Amino acid sequence: MLFTALLGLVLGAYAESTPETTTISIPFEEYDLENGLHVILSEDHSVPFVRVNMWYRVGAKDEVEGRSGFAHLFEHLMFQGSAHMDGEYFGPLQRIGAQINGTTNMDRTNYFEGVPSEQLPLALWLEADRLGFLLPALTQEKLDNQKLVVRNERRQSYENRPYGMAWWWLFDALYPEGHPYKIPTIGKHEDIDAANLEDVKAFFRQWYLPNNASLSIAGDFDPDEAKALVEKYFADIPSGPQPSPVLSIEPTVLEGETVIRKTDTVPHDKVWIAWHSPALYQPGDAELDTLSSVLSSGKDSRLYQSIIEEKKMAQDIRAYQVSMLLGSFYVIEATATEGVDPDALVAEIDNVVAEVKENGVTDSELELAKINWEASFFRRLSTIGAKADQLNQYFIHLGDTDYIAKDLARFQGVTSEGVKTAVNGLKTGRVILHIGPEAKPEPSATEGK
């Protein structure tokens, strides 16, 4: 059944209005192929450009013990060629000036191509071929090569980057053994190294199915032509047993405070304070995003004024909500000023948070935060690629492709009482991570003589 979202993209006027009256929508139509592939079409003829965006309902949370990093590994393997285009996918697309990439997180995997309008058939054919015919072209040589690439990426992004292991240590401390979020998307070295060809083929057969995917096409295209191309390239790809991604889990409750102290080749002491918080799109999620603006957005924010401007205890500081599908966590991170005890820095941050817990936020702080978030919301949707991705996110995570107005309303409807409730949800159970410079060796007795 084909149905259409009725309103075009409308940016509500700011003149003589409050943020609560601002509206937004993205025009689209959506339908399902007989094999279960969900298709979203969104016309935008502002530039001669079209974005193809494919989401799969599989992320790092859906991996099994001993096979961490598989979702991300496949993000690499999907660019190594398929039966009818057995070569790197970047080649034919880069020759036409395309934007092409893929991303993986805890909750999903996505792939996208941005191409000149007339190249839509090429982008769709390539996406369809790797969905339907990747395995015949997947060799041990390709797998071995990409295992090395991924392990090197981990070294560059984690082990060899200043403060790069912070997220690994935070996830490990925040979640118990067996939790879907215990291990970051990059995976363990030993799991990636142990992956064999049959393992990865089984992973592909389980998750890479048309009935586990959503295809979003946004930009300058003719809908009838796009539908015909989708039918031509995707309709004959067979569906399979419906996968069961992890969609819910008992919330993790931290008992007390866990303090982790690490040293590394870094120039300054840095601290991260992390609490468990409401999941993406759930009550409290938008309130904590709003709190982040009050705490650390701009030089008038509370943390900046108190910690940096007045007490000069930090070089930088920011607060943010890490929103995820099964549950989120809220983080305040700061880099200590030279000579400042990082424990004292944590205590001062706690004082600022305690003040908000006690007295809430002011009306002016709330109004400014909501205006900032609304402006950010519109900026994030300023490109065709962002719209294609957002439509897929709403469908995959919520089953409601037309959620955009409700999404904006989450922020427009935040109240002072809601922020106070959300910040008081940040309990004493938390993780504090310290990363500081490695101790300098003592000079020898003869040094300098």
Which residues are catalytically annotated? 75
Q: What is the 3-state secondary structure (H, E, C) of the chain?
A: CCEECCCCCCCCCCCCCCHHHCCCCCCCEEEECCCCCEEEEEECCCCCEEEEEEEECCCHHHCCCCCCCHHHHHHHHCCCCECCECCCCHHHHHCCCCEEEEEECCCCEEEEEEEEHHHHHHHHHHHHHHHHHCHHHCCHHHHHHHHHHHHHHHHHHHHCCCCCCHHHHHHHHHCCCCCCCCCCCCCCHHHHHHCCHHHHHHHHHHHCCHHHEEEEEEECCCHHHHHHHHHHHHCCCCCCCCCCCCCCCCCCCCCCEEEEEEEECCCCCEEEEEEEECCCCCCCHHHHHHHHHHHHCCCCCHHHHHHHHHCCCEEEEEEEEECCCCCEEEEEEEEECCCCCHHHHHHHHHHHHHHHHHHCCCHHHHHHHHHHHHHHHHHHCCCHHHHHHHHHHHHHHHCCCCCHHHHHHHHHCCCHHHHHHHHHCCCCCEEEEEEEECCCCCCCCCCCC
Angle between helices 140-154 and 197-207 (to 10 degrees): 80
Cα(285)–Cα(8) distance, rounded to whole angstroms? 27
Q: Beta partners for 329? A: 276, 322
Cα(346)–Cα(336) distance, rounded to whole angstroms? 10
Q: Please list, in sequence order, all residues whose beta carbon lies within 8 angstroms of the beta carbon of residue 371, skipping any fewer than 6 positions away.
A: 19
